[in-house]
Structure 1
Amino acid sequence: MEVLIIASQLILSLAILVVLHEFGHYIPAKLFKIRVEKFYLFFDPWFSLFKRKIGETEWGIGWLPLGGYVKIAGMVDESMDKEQLAKPPQPWEFRSKPAWQRLIVMVGGVTVNFILALLIYAMILFVWGKQYYTVKSAEKYGMAVSYPELKQYGLEDGDIPLKVGNKKVDNLKDIFKFVVLEGERIVTVDRAGEQVEIKLPENFDQIVLKNEYSELYTLRFPTVVAKVSDDSNAEKAGLKSGDSIVSVNATPINYFNELQSALKENKKKTIELGVVRSGQLTQLNVKVDSTGFIGFQPQGYDYFNIPYATEKFGFFESFPAGISLGVETLGSYVKSMGLVFTKEGAKQIGGFGSMSKIFAPQWDWRIFWNATAFLSIILAFMNILPIPALDGGHVVFLLYEIVTGKEAPQKVLEYAQYVGFFLLIGLMLYANGNDIVRYFFGK
């Protein structure tokens, strides 16, 4: 059931973003009197789930949920309609319009996605405010080191981060930003009442990319079972909602991160799980799967009353705050993209499986809209990259035309489209292949 909920959220989010992105192309095209022959949510090779002709445009829903498209008359696009392009240009075709109009049509989708993200962020701040965990949040149980290998550099579970460089920690998420994106390497923590200064390695970025986490520390909490997955190893062993897990193979387990480490160390093995149920200690024999999971969902921060701060915004205040949050998110994403062009970074590229992780296993509108805004930022940025077949590739050729006064040869556009198409297919296969490898082999 959880998988269906997450998949539904992902599909709905992508459907919203794709439709609005394509409207970003469609609306200026119609304003400039360019004929739009097709408008499709998802791709429709061989057949479509739904289609209807309204005026000069065929509206439809494809069966392949990898995006969507508008087919603009007289444009070299995914359809590679050479028959139409071989005919003399018509007044209602894309190629007949001035370069500046064509440029507006091409950047329309990216513009809509970026503006949409800013509006969503603004409304999230207006409705829910800005919720974040602070140093006060860590006072109850301390924090856990996200990367076990970092403990060799002086980090310890139970630390409470106070400063990164000379910057005081307020929002705990700032720790990762200060260290990874801004290059700070000195972290000051409260350790059992004493302030300790830790120097992180210069190659910290590479260490981060070896892991799926995106934080230096995470808040820790005891392990109480919220829900046991159907037909899981945990269910077969008799684990129940409300159980507290206190040991693995007779080794005490105080916090959930300790349980995670113990499970990873015992992949494909049967372990003895110490469980407190209704005040009584019982032992369960549970098999750990190849990815280090047994199949249950733990109670989260709210269950343990871990406090968080909330910054409220009025309706008009939410717009500049939303713009600031959107720009900051874009900036962080662009900076993090630089890490992708490394050996370890390439391994962390993910497809739909990775995208699904930003949605909650239960329907939560705040998480849904926050994830949708983030995906909208990604969609805008990725589409404006100067890669043939993407909007950014078309923009490059149009800027060339505007600067030189000469159109790029038709054959060049066609070959560029082919190259871009195969690059994107290759990247998609690689990204989703990474997801499959991580799922089955835990790498």
Structure 2
Amino acid sequence: MEILIKLSQFLLSLSLLIILHELGHFIPAKMFKTRVEKFYLFFDIKYSLLKKKIGETEYGIGWLPLGGYVKISGMIDESMDKEQMKLPPQPWEFRSKPAWQRLIIMLGGVTVNFILAFVIYIGMTFFYGDLYLNNSELKDGVVVSEIGEKLGFKTGDKILSIDGEKVIRFNDVHGKLFFAKNVVVDRDGAIKNIALPIDLINTVLGGKQRPLVHWREPFVVGQVPDSSANQTALKPKDVIKSLNGIETKYADQVISFAQENKNKTLQAVVLRNEKEIPVNIVINEDGKLGVFVASLDIESLEKLGLYKFSKLEYGFFESFSVGIEKGKEQIEGYGKQLKAIFNPKTGAYKGVGGFAAIYNIFPKTWSWEAFWNITALLSIMLGVMNLLPIPALDGGHVMFLIYEMVTRRKPSDKFMENAQMVGFVLLIALLLFANGNDIYKAIFHK
């Protein structure tokens, strides 16, 4: 069922983005009286799952879900229709239109992508508002992953600033750390500067991809295996409050205490059904309790008195400025990611993912908030990627059109065909690399 939910969200998001992107080309083409021969969701190599011709355009759904396309008459595109290009230009063809009209047609797709992202962020701002945790709420600091410790962080650190910018909302920390050079923390009252390596992204990708730092949570019992020595002592949803009379407010304290008391029986107090109950728990020879650890939702964390989350709600008109600002921040953030990917020193290229990576970012349970947030981000990614000056992408066509408008010299059809072929080779290589990364991570990073 979880697979079906993830797959449904993935296909719905992908289909929405493809259809709207291609509509961005289709609408201006029709406005300028340019013939559109095909409008397809997914690729119809050899055959289509569904097709219907309305007027001069064939609308359909292909069987290969790697994208979609509109086939515009008189244009050298992915169809590589050389026979059509050998015939004299016709008034309804793309090649017969003024350069400025062709430029608008080619920019239509990415324009829709960016507009869609901004519309989604505006809508989400209005309907969901902003839920966040103030950095000041982390009075006992953060919990640090193994990779975070190797970088110089310690559990209990209070993050003060990242690259000179004071941290106000803790929610912003994770994304900013990837591209940070210096982090200032408060460690037991002493100010420490932590210099981060340029290949931080590669370092994180080499691990289990857990957050470097996170807010500290209590030790909540999840599943208790039948083989566990604590099978009768502990129950799912128990919260361990103390061990041997010592308060264990957070899971990292419980884990550390257990490591120091291997093969021992400890007196514990657990919170069960809102009541504190004393129990005896056994620590095994590995220094573990033999149970799975669960996480608490925001409401439960607040109920335990650990944190107070803040929520901002916005009026309809106020949502426009806030939503647009969120869209701009996401575009800037993705721009930084691309810059890191093209810099071999960062090792970020190793994190480039294909369709499996996109599929995996969707949650296992249906959430419209998560769906729209991911779709907005994917729309920005699709828009930015299509603007890259690579032949076969919209950005490649735009690059040649701008050259034509500046020099008033149109590249020959033969040149455009060769450029398109080079672009295809580059795109196929990128596709193989990205999806190859997915396969590699699935095999070796389990």
Residue 359 of structure 1 deviates from its aligned partner by 2.0
Cα 1:363–1:177 shift into 2, 3 Å: closer
String of CA shifts for 1:312-339, please: whole Å, max 9, x gaps. Answer: 2111111121111111110111012111
Q: Would you say 1:200 and 2:195 are equivalent positions? A: yes
* Aligned equivalent of 2:156: 158
Determine if the alignment matches structure 1 residue 407 to structure 2 residue 410: yes
Contact 2:220 2:251 survives alignment (8 Å): no
1:223-271 Cα deviation digits (max 9, x unpaired): 5466x7xxxxx9897999935598xxxxx99538998xx9xxxxxxxxx
**Matched residue pairs, number?**
406
Shift of 1:83: 1.2
Query: Could you tell me which residue of structure 1 aligns to residue 243 of structure 2?
Result: none
**1:7-18 superposed matches below 5 A:** 7-18=7-18
Counterpart of 1:119 in structure 2 is: 119
1:195, distance to aligned residue in structure 2 (A): 4.5
User: What pairs with 1:36-435 in structure 2 (closer than 5 Å)?
Assistant: 36-139=36-139, 142-146=141-145, 148-176=146-174, 179-181=177-179, 183-189=180-186, 191-192=187-188, 194-203=189-198, 205=200, 207-208=203-204, 210-211=206-207, 213=209, 216-224=212-220, 242-243=236-237, 255=251, 298-305=295-302, 306-341=307-342, 342=344, 344-435=347-438
5+ residue gaps, structure 1, are 229-233, 247-251, 263-273, 286-293
Deviations 1:383-419 (A, max 9, x none): 0100111000111111111111111111111111111
Which has the higher mean CA deviation after the structures are superposed, 161-170 or 122-131? 161-170
Deviation at 1:109, TM superposition (A): 0.2
Distance of aligned partners of 1:258 and 1:26 in 2 relative to their CA distance in 1, 3 Å threshold: farther
Q: For residue 213 of structure 2, what is the amino acid of its counterpart?
A: Y
* Partner in structure 2 of residue 267 of structure 1: none
Question: Which string of whole-angstrom CA distances, capped at 9 and with x for unpartnered residues, describes residues 76-135 of structure 1?
Answer: 111111111111111111011001100000000000000110010001001111222222
Q: Which moved more, 1:84-93 or 1:429-438?
A: 429-438
Distance 1:311 1:211, change over 3 A: farther
State which drifts further: 209-218 or 420-429.
Answer: 209-218
**1: CA distance, partners of 2:341 / 2:168:** 28
| C-alpha distance in structure 2 between counterparts of 1:296 and 1:389, whole Å | 49
TM-score (norm 2): 0.81
Q: 1:201 to 1:163 in 2, by over 3 A?
A: closer
* SS of equivalent to 1:158: coil
1:6–1:384 Cα change, 3 Å: same
SS at match of 1:40: strand
- Distance in 1, matches of 2:150 and 2:214, equals 17
Query: 1:200, CA displacement in angstroms?
Result: 1.8
Distance 2:293 2:211 in 1: 23
Does the 8 Å contact 2:153/2:194 carry over to 1?
no
Note closer, same or farther for the CA distance 1:427–1:134 as it changes in structure 2 (3 Å cut). same
User: Quick check: 1:176–1:214 contact (8 Å CA) kept in 2?
Assistant: no
Q: Answer whether contact 2:37 2:71 (CA < 8 A) is retained.
A: yes
Could you report, residue by residue, the CA deviation over 1:193-240 in whole angstroms, capped at 9, with x for unpaired residues? x243232235364544545648542223235466x7xxxxx9897999
Query: Shift of residue 374 of structure 1?
Result: 0.5
* Residue 416 to residue 46, structure 1, CA distance change in 2 (3 Å): same
1:129-164 Cα deviation digits (max 9, x unpaired): 12222224434x642224x23424531112232333
Contact 1:110 1:384 in 2 (8 A): yes
- In our comparison, the structure showing a higher alpha carbon Rg is 2
Whether the 8 Å contact between 1:242 and 1:277 is mirrored in structure 2 is: no
Query: Using the alignment, how far apart are the partners of 1:296 and 1:421 within structure 2?
Result: 48
SS in 1 for 2:170: coil
The residue matched to 1:125 in structure 2 has which SS? helix
More deviation, 314-323/370-379 = 314-323
State the SS of the aligned residue for 1:163. Answer: strand
List alignment gaps of at least 5 residues for structure 2. 241-247, 259-265, 285-290
Native 8 Å contact 1:163 1:187 kept in 2: yes
Name the stretch that deviates more: 171-180 or 350-359: 171-180
Between 348-357 and 382-391, report the one with greater CA deviation: 348-357
- On the 8 A contact 1:48/1:61 being kept in 2, the answer is yes
Supply the distance in 2 between the matched residues of 1:115 and 1:363 (Cα, whole angstroms).
Answer: 25
| Maintained 8 Å contact 1:103/1:398 | yes
What is the alpha-carbon distance in structure 1 between the residues aligned to residue 428 and residue 249 of structure 2?
A: 45
CA deviation after TM superposition for structure 1 residue 3, in Å: 2.1
Cross-structure match for 1:33: 33
CA distance in 1, matches of 2:207, 2:167: 23
Matches of 2:254 and 2:46 in 1, distance apart? Answer: 51
Offset of residue 436 of structure 1: 1.6
Q: Which residue type is aligned with residue 127 of structure 2?
A: V
SS for the counterpart of 1:74 is coil
Q: Is the 8 A contact 2:199 2:348 kept in 1?
A: no
TM-score normalised by L of structure 1: 0.82
Give the partner amino acid of 2:156: G
SS of alignment partner, residue 50 of structure 1:
strand
